[in-house]
Structure 1
Amino acid sequence: MKNQIFEREHQINYYECDANKQLTISMLVNVMMQVSGEQSHELGVGDEELAKKGLAWIVLQYAVDIKHIPTAHQKIKITTQALSYNKLFCYREFHVYDETGTLCVTAKSTFALLNFEKRKMVRIQEETVAPFQAPFSKKLVRTPKPEKVVEEQFTENEYRVRYLDIDTNLHVNNSKYLDWAIDTLDYDFLTTHKLTHLNIKFEKEVYYGNQINSQMSLFENEEGEIISAHRIMTGDVVNSEASMTWKKNGEESNR
């Protein structure tokens, strides 16, 4: 059987965009997660059904390549499909097309099942993934790790986790990590540069009331691309690491 491909259209609202009128990376992730959630629901294995078993999907990592970001009031199309799964992980791919039908974003993600009460990962259940028609593979898909923050060079911002940062899994929503990471970059940088690649890995959950530090260091690679390395910390615990690749506005992306 062939993997199920699912698609949805989305009208970009102005409140989903930044000062450049571009869809923010956190909202892009939210839209993609909404589409994958709708596919799960239509296949009868949505959040409500998983909750009856005391389970919930969690995302462990995203790798996102961006040719260009859609802007306010455009209508985009998002397609997604489950690629494969093994005993512990499920792998999913997303494509985002702008209103001309041009591919603008490609993303791959790694999911796992969480035992809601024990807050621990559990083995993937056959009946949960079967409707997606994705093949079982013993092979682990190894997404490269994000770049590391340079210890002697990072800057940091401090935040307290608010009620509205928490999602229905009772931990900080994935998109909030991206907001905290982006916020370490200044206004002039963000309005003169565009994001071309994101790699973010989630390590430990963050909960309501936690005090977190968002740390960032910036450097230029051999190709002349600017890399921002990010780390979200609670005390001495690393909760998430990410790296982002940037180019100045007007420069073409090689990805």
Structure 2
Amino acid sequence: MSGKIYEKEHQIKYYECDTTQKMTLSMLLNIMLHVSGEQSYILGVGDEVLAEKGLAWIIIQYEVKVERMPAFYESIKITTQATSYNKLFCYRTFKVYDTQGNLCVTVNSTFALMNVEERKMARVPDEIVAPYESEFSKKLIRTPKPVKVDEENMISKDYHVRYLDIDSNRHVNNSKYIEWAIDTLDLEFLTTHEIETMTIKFEKEVHYGQLIHSEMSLTKTQDNEVITAHRIGTEDITNCEASIVWKKIV
């Protein structure tokens, strides 16, 4: 695995946590993106450099594995590494460690560049990725697909996209999809279960003012494992799909 590693210390704030005082996944992903943005800025290929070329990073997929979600006031170390890229996709790994050096969370992510004016994916310029010293590979990394929602046994909630849901790319911030997905589960479930793994794939942009439908179905395996399948959609369009494996809090 190639690519420069960048790391950042972070102390968890109360507003980054849920009612169980554990850090929320959506907040952790936001902070991870901030850390990778810092690395890009230091390497001279930050957002302002991309903007001059009419480009912006977009996230295609996250694969998350949680060993232990850090808690309020805990100090953590976040590392990030751009591992490889091809003509269209860039792959980046994030890891979270506690003060004893124990691995808490691993996130493998897939990024692409968007032509801001055309709102279409763009080829990855060599001068943008060269500072990360990641490996070029023509081979596409096959990422796991989220479990499909069982339409006969699903529940659905609707949300209107608010001004504070959108980011500087003029579309809904990726963390909002996770919040919409998790909000389909009730308080009793969320306070007695925690995320073990999650796969989430972003398909199409959602914009200000749109009405979105957050759909969810839940299944239990023979091993008593709980899996939820999620779909975020607008009208007849699937904008995002996710699946989450949950474990009981002990």
Q: TM-score scaled by structure 2?
A: 0.98
CA distance in 2, matches of 1:171, 1:237: 15
How far has the Cα of 1:223 moved from its partner? Answer: 3.5
Partner of 2:189: 189
Q: Deviations over 1:85-106 (max 9, x none)?
A: 0010000001101222210001
Alpha-carbon deviations, 1:116-166, whole Å to 9, x = none?
Answer: 010000111100000000010001001110000001011011000000000
Match of 1:175 in 2: 175
1:39 maps to which residue? 39
Q: Secondary structure at the match of 1:152?
A: helix
What's 1:253 paired with?
A: none
Question: What CA distance in whole angstroms lies between the structure 1 residues aligned with 2:127 and 2:223?
Answer: 46
Structure 2 distance, partners of 1:77, 1:222, is 36
Task: Name the structure 2 match of 1:155.
Answer: 155
Whether contact under 8 Å (2:156, 2:214) holds in the other structure is yes
Q: Distance in 2 between matches of 1:2 and 1:249?
A: 36
In structure 1, the residue matched to 2:141 is 141
User: Match of 1:199, SS?
Assistant: strand
Structure 1 segments (4+ residues) deviating >2 Å: 221-224
RMSD: 1.0
Match of 1:117, as an amino acid?
E
User: What displacement does 1:2 show?
Assistant: 4.6
Structure 2: segments with no counterpart, 5+ residues: none
Tell me the residue number matched to 2:63. 63
Q: Deviations over 1:48-72 (max 9, x none)?
A: 1100111000000000000010000
User: SS in structure 1 opposite 2:136?
Assistant: coil
CA distance in 1, matches of 2:4, 2:15: 32
How far apart, in 1, do the equivalents of 2:35 and 2:72 lie?
A: 19
Query: Matched residues, percent identical?
Result: 61
Report matched runs for 1:84-123 at 5 Å. 84-123=84-123
Q: Kindly provide the amino acid, as one letter, of the partner of residue 225 in structure 1.
A: E
Distance of 1:8 and 1:101 partners within structure 2: 14
Give the letter aligned to residue 212 of structure 1.
I
| Aligned length in residues | 250
Which residue identity is paired with 1:190? Answer: L
Residue matched to 1:74: 74
5+ long unaligned stretches in structure 1: 251-255
Q: Supply the distance in 2 between the matched residues of 1:2 and 1:97 (Cα, whole angstroms).
A: 20
